[in-house]
Structure 1
């Protein structure tokens, strides 16, 4: 080996040996740890079998790259508060590679098996599409090496079709066909990268797919263009043999005044109308669900009941603020209701629970990155245990069955099967008279849930 080659090899070896999170070891499982011991799992035991699967298989935790490794503590009212010693703040390839190495050390020490990213989080944008794609190729070459080294898989990747000024009026729904074509070219590359890295899913989040005013918007044209865009994605996915599941992530507003993928049922209706429901499922983010005015678990349950729940971006928000805060989920009751839906559909694979969440801009030390993820993972582990007890106990299931028991026979059975007529219903009422009042017993159901949580 020549002298320059030796120097390059030594430099690379030195880079490989850098420890970014000194003093923090692989997070252990310590169920008897005290309240102040927060760098350990007290409830999440990945190998433990519960209700027929391991915890790791039920939960399929994933860390998002954008908040965890690109977040700097920005909010709508203040500048950056968070700096990381490995990140010089530049958009250089060298900095991108260093950041990626830090990320995989974090993933390995945290003990998760999946990660997610936007294309522009990972690699800097170049002077044109060709240079941008070359940058992405170079960085994903390293990502592939690190994934193999650490035994970590890609839950999903996605394309950032909202941050660049070119997308100020949307991407797939943009009124300018030139922009729609650019977005299509970017997604083409994204699908290729997904295949390259073995992504188990690919997500579409319409960050600016909506409108600020109906006065200048042709709604049907934009929705039709979006549907055709998704059809192109399906065609190209099949052409290149990408095996990942395609997902759409709903959000009601922000940054646009109204976004077309308002909530789970809006997306289901869109997919059914345009004949796309066989090709897509839904990636639910509960923080977005709350922005739509629904309860935390609402979109998870609705998507699941229609066979459309593909994955969950596990975060939460502050309803009193009214905007998307992307906080780590720490409410066990919320986690229980999500996991109840996941268990009832026998798991969420090939999707998972991706922590699309960021530490608060006041939480600035490296330990906070670990503590936030550990706390959220323990919360969902507790939610899983509670949901299993709730389901296996069968009390609530029997209560619900009793509440709907009138549909088991007679006129109720005919209504349930779709065989009843208005005439038959009228004849039944003439004989049976006024219905008796039946209590909904909401408080009883809440007490039953609290028993298990």
Structure 2
């Protein structure tokens, strides 16, 4: 097995231009505000293939014929070396990322537990923490028709066994969240789908997870990651608003939050900041997958973030909403398949971290200057007056409102929203 640092030519942590972990920004250190995490799947599992060509990265742990558990140990060594070189304080994983699947659920879960023991030692030695864990309930052929929403209850039971194992491991590793991404929880055609039944199944599954969370004493947040489509034609966790409606129906709105991804927001026809603000408005904001999509392509490209204005606005809305508690910025991003040097993996993450730190400083200016917030406050100030308060408190009827307009001779006139002026203001902060 290779030495942990033999894979990269870099030997020292990356030197940042903007990211200073202990620098104070808006009452917290940069590290506390941003809570960076590196994901296991794109970084160490994806081999660089696409629908028209095979792997390009040629990672040593991808080699055919190797012992799967030995390769999993090698992968863990390299992963923690990447975390160190990039300077990320957290990481995230799926069970199928970190350990090979066995012949039975028991064997698969034991493989995950064995690598979990490796993680525990490396985390203790390095101080690197787990932002969240999750179970892969979408890659295996058994999940082609969904996991919780599968027409076969035995598949539902198998998925429950996977989630139980990873939730417990996440708890033991002191993970700060647990994520459920419904990668196959949807449908391809209504001709063979009973939507009401599948929604009930998914609601029952999530309630089981909540019950087990409390049973084992896990204090972290449970998160759902919205996405409208891909891999299914229609997924039930379409966007933040859809997830909230689902949670409300099944009595889960106080138990489950959302993990929002920029690329998924685009696919749903939204902006990143729309989904963040909506989650805050509905009280279910949890965490962020920080990547970007190509706005000229209609699929999930998972590219590293490089749009400074977009990231600054996202952080502006996150911090104005109260900032992260247990969540953070997870780089659910992958190299392009032509970026084949191992050091590309370090530099892509480090430069993305630096961009987010720069965006945080811009968000700080926006908040300190207060012009954006002041405009919004002024625009809605009428609702803080007597009439607005009476309406929202439910103390006036439709008849009374009509009478008020007639008696007072009200003739309200529109006022400019000043959109172009505000958009220009944002660019000045850059």
TM-score, normalised relative to structure 2: 0.96
1:282 paired with 2:268, answer no
- The CA distance in 1 between the partners of 2:363 and 2:67, in whole Å, is 44
CA deviations 1:220-263 (Å, max 9, x no partner) are 11111111111111111111222221111100000111000000
Who is 2:181 aligned against? 205
Q: CA deviation at 1:136?
A: 1.2
- Contact 2:13 2:84 (8 Å CA) reproduced: no
Who is 1:25 aligned against? 11
1:321 paired with 2:297, answer yes
CA deviations 1:193-245 (Å, max 9, x no partner) are 11221111100000000011112211111111111111111111111222221
Q: CA deviation at 1:411?
A: 2.6
- The CA distance in 1 between the partners of 2:397 and 2:84, in whole Å, is 61
Cα 1:78/1:425, change in 2 over 3 Å? farther
Q: CA deviation at 1:451?
A: 1.7
Picking from 131, 153, 164, the partner of 1:177 is: 153
Q: CA deviation at 1:18?
A: 4.2
- The CA distance in 1 between the partners of 2:289 and 2:30, in whole Å, is 18
Who is 1:346 aligned against? 322
- The CA distance in 1 between the partners of 2:67 and 2:149, in whole Å, is 29
Who is 2:281 aligned against? 305
1:70 paired with 2:56, answer no
Who is 1:5 aligned against? none
Unaligned 5+ segments in structure 2 are none
Picking from 419, 430, 445, the partner of 2:422 is: 445
Who is 1:52 aligned against? 27
Cα 1:297/1:232, change in 2 over 3 Å? same
Cα 1:374/1:418, change in 2 over 3 Å? farther
- The CA distance in 2 between the partners of 1:410 and 1:61, in whole Å, is 45
- Any idea what SS the aligned residue of 2:81 has? helix
* Residue range with higher mean Cα deviation, 53-62 or 436-445: 436-445
1:61-140 equivalent positions in 2, closer than 5 A: 61-85=36-60, 87-89=62-64, 90=66, 92-140=68-116
| Coordinate RMSD, CA, aligned | 1.6
- The CA distance in 1 between the partners of 2:111 and 2:8, in whole Å, is 29
* Residue range with higher mean Cα deviation, 107-116 or 18-27: 18-27
- The CA distance in 2 between the partners of 1:86 and 1:175, in whole Å, is 35
Q: CA deviation at 1:297?
A: 1.8
- Contact 2:86 2:347 (8 Å CA) reproduced: no
* Residue range with higher mean Cα deviation, 402-411 or 357-366: 402-411
Cα 1:169/1:84, change in 2 over 3 Å? same
Cα 1:20/1:386, change in 2 over 3 Å? same
Q: CA deviation at 1:22?
A: 4.3
- Contact 1:173 1:180 (8 Å CA) reproduced: yes
Unaligned 5+ segments in structure 1 are 1-14, 29-39
Who is 1:387 aligned against? 363
* Residue range with higher mean Cα deviation, 430-439 or 46-55: 430-439
- The CA distance in 1 between the partners of 2:60 and 2:106, in whole Å, is 31
Who is 1:4 aligned against? none
TM-score, normalised relative to structure 1: 0.91
Q: CA deviation at 1:23?
A: 3.1
Who is 1:37 aligned against? none
Q: CA deviation at 1:378?
A: 1.3
Q: CA deviation at 1:159?
A: 0.3
Q: CA deviation at 1:410?
A: 3.9
Picking from 228, 231, 244, the partner of 2:207 is: 231
Who is 1:3 aligned against? none
* Residue range with higher mean Cα deviation, 334-343 or 199-208: 334-343
- Contact 1:26 1:110 (8 Å CA) reproduced: no
Q: CA deviation at 1:110?
A: 1.2
CA deviations 1:5-36 (Å, max 9, x no partner) are xxxxxxxxxx68542344313334xxxxxxxx
* Residue range with higher mean Cα deviation, 212-221 or 323-332: 212-221
